[in-house]
Amino acid sequence: MSHGDAPRLNTFPCRSEDALLPRTGRRSPDEVKPNPGFSAVPSGLRLVSSRLRALLAFGLLAGGLARAAEPPVEIPFALEGHNIVIGVDFGQGRRLPFALDTGLAPGNLVTPEAAKRVGIEAQASLGVRDAGGARVDAHVAKVPSLRIAGLALSDQLFAVTRIPSQVLQRPGKGLLAGYIGAPLLADAVVCIDYGRRKLAYWHRADFPAAGLVSVPMQLKHGLPTVSVDIDGAPATLIVDSGADTAITVYASFAQRHDFIRRYRIRGTDQGNGGSGRSFQALLTEADSTKLGPGAAFENTPMQVIPQGMDPQWGIDGVLGFQVLQLLDPCLDEAGGRLLYRGE
C-alpha cells in the first residue's frame, strides 16, 4: 500500500456499447482494525510535578474506563447489479429488502405497497425530486424503530411514494421495497466493502482513519459531494451508490465544457426517473478522471443526461457504482470527508 503523491492509474476495460448502457437510468478497504488505544506518555512529561502527573494519570485512566473503542456494526448485503440490497426489519417478523442509496436525501423511500405490509402510515405530504429532475408527490411517515442487521435506528423518516417497477426489479426475485438514504450516514462513518459484501457502521469517535486517503466531501442540499477532475474540468459530483454508471454529468456542465465536441458519442440510451418519466442519456468516455491520490482512472465510462438538479445548487453530476466499487469508500458525513485506501 503506497500513500505517496503518485496517483494510481486504473484503466477501465474495453466494453461493448451494450455494457456501457445504464441498467435503470437511476442514478476493500481491507478489514478495518480498531484503534490500538492510548500511546505511551512521552519521556519529557516525567519532569512535570507529581501533582500534574497524578492529574494526567487520572485523566487517562478515567477516559479509558469511561469508554473503550468499539468495533463497527457489520451489515451484510447482496450486490444485485449495482444495488446494495440490505434487509430492513420493522419488527414482528416484518423484514423487507431495500437498496442503499447514498445519493438520496433527506430521508428514505418506500412504496405504498411495502408501507402497507409493514404498517407504515403517512402523516404529511411533500414533493420530492426523482433521478430525472421531475418533482413527484410523496407522503411522509416517521418509523419509531427499525433494525438493519445489528444496527438499531429510531425515528426514521420515510417518503411513501410510487416508484416505477423497472427501477425496483431484482432478477429472479421480488421487487425492492424502496431505498435507504442519507439518514444511515448521519453521525457515523459508513464504509462499503464491495468485495466482502459488507457495510461497516462506525461511531465517529472509534473510526481508525490512519492509512486511509481522505478527500473533502461537502454536503450540498443534504447530498454528499466530492470534486472530480474530468480531463482538466473540475466537477462537483454526488457520491451515489444508487447509480450504476461510473460518471454522470448534467447537460449544463457538459455544455459549459464543450463535452459534445470534445468526446465521441458512443451511443444513446433511454433512462427512467423515479416518476417513470424517461429521458435520453448520451454515452461517451473520459480519457482521464481523478478523485484524489491513488484514485485516478483512464478511459472512464461517462454519460450526459438532462439537468437533474437546479444549476444554482452547484452540483454537476454523479459518481456511481463503477468507480465506487474500485474504492471501497468510507463516508464521513459529519467530518466532511470521503476516505479510501490509495494504492
pLDDT, one tens digit per residue, over 185-225 is 999 999 999 999 999 999 999 999 999 999 999 999 889 99
Query: Model's pTM, two decimal places?
Result: 0.79
C-alpha 164/C-alpha 159 separation (Å) is 15
Least confident of 40-54, 92-106, 320-334: 40-54
Half-sphere exposure of 100 (CA within 13 A, CB side): 26
> Mean of the per-residue pLDDT values for the chain?
81
How far is it, in rounded angstroms, from Cα 281 to Cα 254? 12
Specify the pLDDT at position 269: 87
Task: Report the C-alpha gap between 227 and 250 in whole angstroms.
Answer: 15
pLDDT category of residue 240 using cuts at 50, 70 and 90:
very high
- Which of the pair, 333 or 309, is modelled with greater confidence? 333
- Whole-angstrom distance, CA of residue 249 vs CA of residue 308: 9
DSSP H stretches of helix in the chain: 17-20, 50-66, 112-118, 165-168, 251-256, 259-262, 321-327
Over residues 53-75, mean pLDDT: 59
The whole-angstrom separation of Cα 91 and Cα 16 is: 45
> Coil, helix or strand for 71?
coil
First to last CA, the chain: 5
pLDDT score for 138? 78
Q: Return the closest-CA partner of residue 100 out of 85, 112, 88, 89.
A: 85
Under the banding of pLDDT at 50, 70 and 90, the label for residue 2 is very low
Give the closest residue to 138 by CA, choosing from 112, 116, 165.
112
pLDDT of residue 7: 38
Q: Assess contact for 141 and 151: CB atoms under 8 A.
A: no
The CA distance from 307 to 311, in Å, is 8
Give the number of other Cβ atoms within 10 Å of residue 20's Cβ.
21
DSSP structure string for 223-282: EEEEEEEETTEEEEEEE-TT--SSEEEEHHHHHHTTHHHHS---EEEEEE-TTS-EEEEE
